[in-house]
Amino acid sequence: MPSLLNKNTAFWQYRRSLLALFIGATVSALSAQAQSTWPAKTIKIVVPYAAGGPADVVARELAQKLSADLKQSVVIENQGGAMGVTALGTVARAEPDGHTLLMAAFGNIVLQPILSKTGGADLLARLRPISTVSTSPHVLVVSAKLPVKTVKELVDYARANPGRISFASAGMGGTAHLGMEMFKALSQTDVLHVPYKGSSGAVNDLISGQVSAMFSSLPSLQGLADKGLVRVIAATASSVSPATKNLPLMSATLPGFDYTTWYAMYAPLGTPSATVELVNAALRRVLKDPALEARIEPHGIELKASSPEEVLAWTKRDTEKWTRVIREAKISVE
């Protein structure tokens, strides 16, 4: 009996060794196959925003550089609306071969699942992060007609005039609205939120002085600031971008005030790890291109590649932060 036991043990050890060798060979073969076939055709990057906005600008500049680097056509497909759900669904259902990618904003990945009671959250589980693409702080902008030039002056004015300071936003639950809620909580002031259906009406009323302030990406309002129609007084987070690195920080007056918007690249969940690594490597090469940095960073956007694990860490961090803000402000979007 001992000899039989020893034979059986040796047999199963042999089987496990063969299985390990088979799995290792299969993984190596799949990895080699992915490296030899990607990219094998046109790469499509789906952007959950309309053409012409900051996300679209970054995506198209990036697509040109990727196309040159990979010697393959890279096209942008804009699918705006529905808080990004349509775009997320398109990529989640795509063939997981690295040729259909999603460049999503943190609002699509973090805010949408918290705010919306229907759709979107399930799609995130069907996407695989690849790398961050860019980060940027927002800026606090006030009407030139408002007699304040610093965050402290704005806080003092709001405390001296309860209910008279109003913050515009492009709609409920967006970053401009949530930035206002964070400001309101940390400054302990009585300020009003004025939601608009889109940004154009909000900006027009900011210029006229009908509303006092708003949080915004810098490119949207830089031209107006240059003309003296609005006043940029602070950034929501630190940055190395030439456009924002010298702005005062909100946290200097309101400790704990900090938020950064970001974009990241995703693939369908079933995309092989070897392909994800190739896409990540391509992004790392391109996002370090000095010519691309020179075109993008003046807009207040900092190009930044990362590992997939770092994307998950950023998502977790921001989900915790904004869940607190949203729950305390009792915000919901149907």
C-beta separation of 106 from 319 below 8 A: no
| Positions in the chain whose pLDDT score sits under 70 | 1-36, 118-119, 334
List of residues 6+ apart from 186 with CB closer than 8 A: 254, 255, 256, 257
What pLDDT is stored for residue 119 in this prediction?
A: 60
Phi, psi at 238, each rounded to 5°: -75, 160
What pLDDT is stored for residue 332 in this prediction?
A: 78
What pLDDT is stored for residue 270 in this prediction?
A: 97
Rounded to whole angstroms, how far apart are CA atoms 139 and 152? Answer: 15
- The residues pairing with 128 across neighbouring beta strands, listed in sequence order, are 267
C-beta separation of 301 from 58 below 8 A: yes
What pLDDT is stored for residue 300 in this prediction?
A: 84
Residue range 35-84, pLDDT digits in tens: 558 999 999 999 999 888 778 889 999 999 999 999 999 999 999 887 78
What pLDDT is stored for residue 83 in this prediction?
A: 78
Rounded to whole angstroms, how far apart are CA atoms 291 and 239? Answer: 19
> Which of the 8 DSSP states describes residue 297?
G
List of residues 6+ apart from 189 with CB closer than 8 A: 155, 158, 159, 162, 165, 183
What pLDDT is stored for residue 36 in this prediction?
A: 54
Name the residue with tokens 């900011």. 206
Residue range 213-229, pLDDT digits in tens: 999 988 889 899 999 99
Tokens of 275: 């392909």
What pLDDT is stored for residue 334 in this prediction?
A: 62
Give the three-state DSSP class for 127: strand
What pLDDT is stored for residue 28 in this prediction?
A: 46
Amino acid present at 332: S
What pLDDT is stored for residue 19 in this prediction?
A: 47
CATH numbers and ranges of domains, the chain: 42-136+260-329 (3.40.190.150), 139-253 (3.40.190.10)
